[in-house]
Amino acid sequence: MRVSERVAARIARDFGEHASEALDALALAETGGQDVERVHAAIVLMAEGSVARLWQAAELSALDWRDVLMGTGLEHGSWPAVLDREFGPVS
């Protein structure tokens, strides 16, 4: 699954030298037919810069993608505005 440019930029910033591993984890994320960028962004936010937490969040998405949205600000209808605030506007 392709990661958007703004999520990839945040991964580079948050994970530095471990960015490729973070991208590998996101490739395994389950989105449940939802907006892929939304779910990827939620996983990145849940991880708070920790590769271990990112893997856990990606695994959690396989159990229920909705669980990764909870507590990230991306669980409600206002999620596009939160995504813009956290990751920058779409370029």
Q: What local confidence, expressed as pLDDT, does residue 6 receive?
A: 97
Question: For the whole model, what pTM was predicted?
Answer: 0.94
Give the Cα separation of 59 and 65 in Å (integer): 9
CA pair distance 82, 67, nearest whole angstrom: 17
**pLDDT tens per residue across span 21-80:** 999 999 999 999 999 999 999 999 999 999 999 999 999 999 999 999 999 999 999 999
pLDDT at 85: 96
Torsion of CA 85, 86, 88, 89, to 10 degrees: -50
How confident is residue 90, by pLDDT bands cut at 50, 70 and 90?
confident
Does pLDDT of 1 surpass 80? no
Q: How far apart are the C-alpha atoms of 29 and 13, rounded to whole Å? A: 20
